[in-house]
Amino acid sequence: MGRTKKVKSAGRYGVRYGLKLRKKLLEVEKEQKKKHICPNCKKPGLKRLAAGIWYCKKCGAKFAGKAYVPR
């Protein structure tokens, strides 16, 4: 396994697709996986179920948002 210092988790693609695209992917993944705040109960606990479908683990609310961020 090679080093993935620059692209971290996007390093799973190795040398494929180019550095620029892997860096963009890293930004999207970082935003997607961080803790988001629920608009209903205002607590951090949103989980992405599928593209555009978000679920709050605290209050059980399910709603539609953007594909990678709940806004």
For the stretch 10-58, pLDDT in tens is: 989 989 999 999 999 999 999 999 999 999 999 999 999 999 999 999 9
Phi and psi angles of residue 28, each rounded to the nearest 5 degrees, phi first:
-65, -45
Q: 45 with 69, same domain?
A: yes
Note down the domain range covering 23: 1-34
For 10, counting Cβ atoms within 10 Å of its Cβ (0-12 exposed, 13-18 middle, 19+ buried), the class is buried
Please give the C-alpha separations between residue 65 and each of 8, 13, 56, 71, in angstroms, as whole numbers.
Answer: 27, 28, 12, 6
Q: Are residues 26 and 39 in the same domain?
A: no
**Overall size of the chain counted in residues:** 71
Same domain, 48 and 22: no
- What's the structural domain count of the chain? 2
Contact 38, 58 (CB under 8 A): yes
Give the predicted TM-score (pTM) of the model: 0.75
